[in-house]
Chain A
Amino acid sequence: MNEMNFGKKLLSKDESQRLFEQFSENGNNLYKGEDPILRKELFLPLSQEVERSKLLGSKKEKYKSDIFVGMKLYELLSPLHLSMRIAASDDFWRYLSIKVLPDLVYARWDGLKKDRFWEKPNRIWLRVIWWYVHLAWQNDAGVTMDCLNDSCFSTDTVAQLVERSGRHGYRIDLYRCMMLKAKENQLNQEEFRAMMTLNTIRIVNIEPRFFNGGVSGYVDNLIETIKNNVVE
């Protein structure tokens, strides 16, 4: 991806709503020709995967498709090019969803779902899949993909992780560690959900970075508790 000034590629909530209401229900002509350079960079590589996902039925298959699109999007808009200031801007993701790739969002969600385009930041699809990959990132695309492909993760995990930003932002190091150790310890989906819930309770009183063994020791302890079904 060439260097681009993403700082100006923003769309407010009001403006997003206005443009969204002009979209036709049948999904025809959603893309109005704006920002062709960015569109060119993103559309083709992402649309192939989204087109494939339209043929898929189960939630598991949809999840697999989402992580492929998420990884591709993260590769194209990597933190090397997309600053964290912009990545944290809901208005940037609205711009992408409404102005640059509306047909893609429409295709993935099989219709005009306003949550997935602009309304609720934690549900804007492109934002969610980018942040999901970011929160799982293991310093290498192959290792990250391998991790995300593990059977313990599902569309539910995406919601668990991205929608739990907390009042003070993501604990990125903790989330990355939880994802990796969930795979290493072969947790199932139910155990992963239990680990997230236990973490929500414990983190009120414990700072993971200062627990025995740091963040890694903290996550080991969560998993041990879940596996032994022991709550201290």
Chain B
Amino acid sequence: MRNKIPQYPMLNQKLIQEIGIKENLLDITYETDDLKQSEQIAVSDSRLILLGEYEYWDPHKTVVTIERCITITNPQKLYGETGIIPDGAEVGIASEFLSSSSQQRYIFKNVTFLPQSQTGPLVIKQRLVLNKNTYRGIGEIVDFVYIARKTCQYRGRKANTNGAVLGYLCNPIKIAFDGVGSLFPALLADFGPNGPLWEMRFNSSDPSTDPFSDDYICILLNISHRRYKDLKITDFSRSNAFRNEVFSSWISLAYFIIYSEYREVFEDISTGNTEEFGKNSIAQWLYYFKTTFLVDLSKPEKWTASINTAVHKLLV
């Protein structure tokens, strides 16, 4: 998202509720030279699509098509006294694909309308084709509202410049191109200022098959805690001993849960017997982490030190 000082009324939560936005399930089609496979998925709270969860995903071979439908129930409310568009101006809603890790951004869908021409709900059908061998890291789909054609008569304080961006309709949908291992399952939570800084969430009944994603395992970071600012997960570029300590404690705890509750899985991680591990499963991630960063699992007391060293290496 952009940081900006609003010079004119922008979309806010209240207006977004008034105009009413519904998102349908996403249709994702994976296509290679040999096969075509479709999935229908609901976007979870994290609004993250992990392409690596699908066995037929290969960034070098697979073309992914994402189809999505957004319905705006009362688009007319963008106009009028409480709206953000001057009467007579044409409004546009554009969908953009952004990826700083792939150094690419482009608009793939754009609809415009005038208040008099849009009496009922507005249905926007999107189709985003992501070609093979083109993207890496993380991409995002964002939908923003802008002035498509200004009105000549207006002299008020609402934006009235062609191309003026008025805000985003929903939180971005993120697409991870490079497997689940590249993402740390962290979610923000509000436990209040006196609550813990972080908590472990572990919902897995079978860590050898359940995916390493925030539905099954994650660290919840308390945004109301006074030290939360020191954990900002968007700021991994700088060294931060406190943050490293928190994340290494969390990973140590993950190993401890597996050790105490799923001893067989733990033994398999320790010995490298990974045949039964599902692709991108919790167990596979812990095994990957152990082997990549040489975590010493021989004794529980040795975990913390070796994991701390590993996290420091990973996050700096």
CA distance A207 to B96 in the complex (A): 11
Whether the pair A206, B98 counts as a contact (CB closer than 8 A) is no
Interface 9-residue window, one of A18-26, A39-47, A208-216: A208-216
Whether the pair A88, B163 counts as a contact (CB closer than 8 A) is no
Contact of B7 among A205, A207, A211 (CB under 8 A): A205
A7 and chain B: residue at smallest CB distance:
B60
Whether the pair A210, B103 counts as a contact (CB closer than 8 A) is no
Residues of B within 8 A of A212 (CB): 162-163
What 0/1 pattern do residues 97 to 113 of B give for CB contact below 8 A with A?
01111111101000000
Does A171 have its Cβ within 8 Å of any Cβ on chain B? Answer: yes
Whether the pair A205, B136 counts as a contact (CB closer than 8 A) is no
Whether the pair A168, B140 counts as a contact (CB closer than 8 A) is yes
> How far is the CB of B80 from the nearest CB of chain A, in Å?
22
Which residues 194-209 of A sit at the B interface, judged by CB distance below 8 A?
204-209
Question: Is the interface on chain A under 10, 10 to 19, 20 to 34, or 35 or more residues?
Answer: 20 to 34
Question: Is the interface on chain B under 10, 10 to 19, 20 to 34, or 35 or more residues?
Answer: 20 to 34
What 0/1 pattern do residues 166 to 183 of A give for CB contact below 8 A with B?
111111100000000000
CA distance A14 to B100 in the complex (A): 22
Residues of B within 8 A of A218 (CB): 163
Residues of B within 8 A of A211 (CB): 161-163
* A131, A168, A206, A208: residue with the most chain B Cβ atoms closer than 10 Å: A168
Contact of A171 among B102, B105, B146, B165 (CB under 8 A): B105
Whether the pair A206, B103 counts as a contact (CB closer than 8 A) is no
Q: A166-B100, A210-B163 are in contact. Are A85 and B133 (CB under 8 A)?
A: yes
What 0/1 pattern do residues 18 to 56 of A give for CB contact below 8 A with B?
000000000000000000000000000000000000000
> How far is the CB of A118 from the nearest CB of chain B, in Å?
15
* A87, A89, A169: residue with the most chain B Cβ atoms closer than 10 Å: A169
Does A84 have its Cβ within 8 Å of any Cβ on chain B? Answer: yes
> How far is the CB of A126 from the nearest CB of chain B, in Å?
15
Whether the pair A204, B59 counts as a contact (CB closer than 8 A) is no
* B60, B99, B136, B148: residue with the most chain A Cβ atoms closer than 10 Å: B136
Does B4 have its Cβ within 8 Å of any Cβ on chain A? Answer: yes
Whether the pair B94, A210 counts as a contact (CB closer than 8 A) is yes
Whether the pair B135, A207 counts as a contact (CB closer than 8 A) is no
> How far is the CB of B63 from the nearest CB of chain A, in Å?
13
Residues of A within 8 A of B107 (CB): 209
Does A165 have its Cβ within 8 Å of any Cβ on chain B? Answer: yes
Does A83 have its Cβ within 8 Å of any Cβ on chain B? Answer: yes
* B99, B101, B105, B159: residue with the most chain A Cβ atoms closer than 10 Å: B105
CA distance A165 to B125 in the complex (A): 30
Whether the pair A207, B163 counts as a contact (CB closer than 8 A) is yes
Q: A89-B136, A207-B165 are in contact. Are A84 and B103 (CB under 8 A)?
A: yes
Whether the pair A85, B59 counts as a contact (CB closer than 8 A) is yes
A residues neighboring B (CB under 8 Å): 7, 14, 83-89, 131, 165-172, 204-212, 218
**15 A-B residue pairings within 8 Å (CB atoms):** A83-B133, A84-B134, A85-B60, A85-B133, A89-B136, A165-B103, A167-B100, A168-B99, A169-B98, A169-B104, A171-B105, A204-B3, A205-B4, A207-B163, A208-B163
The 10 A-B pairs at the shortest CB distance, nearest first, are namely A210-B163, A211-B163, A168-B98, A83-B133, A169-B105, A88-B103, A169-B100, A206-B163, A169-B103, A207-B163
Q: A84-B102, A165-B103, A207-B163 are in contact. List 15 more A-B contacts (CB 8 A).
A: A7-B60, A83-B133, A83-B134, A168-B99, A168-B100, A169-B104, A170-B104, A204-B3, A205-B159, A206-B164, A208-B163, A210-B92, A210-B146, A212-B162, A212-B163
B residues neighboring A (CB under 8 Å): 2-4, 7, 59-60, 92, 94, 98-105, 107, 133-137, 140, 144, 146-148, 159, 161-165, 313
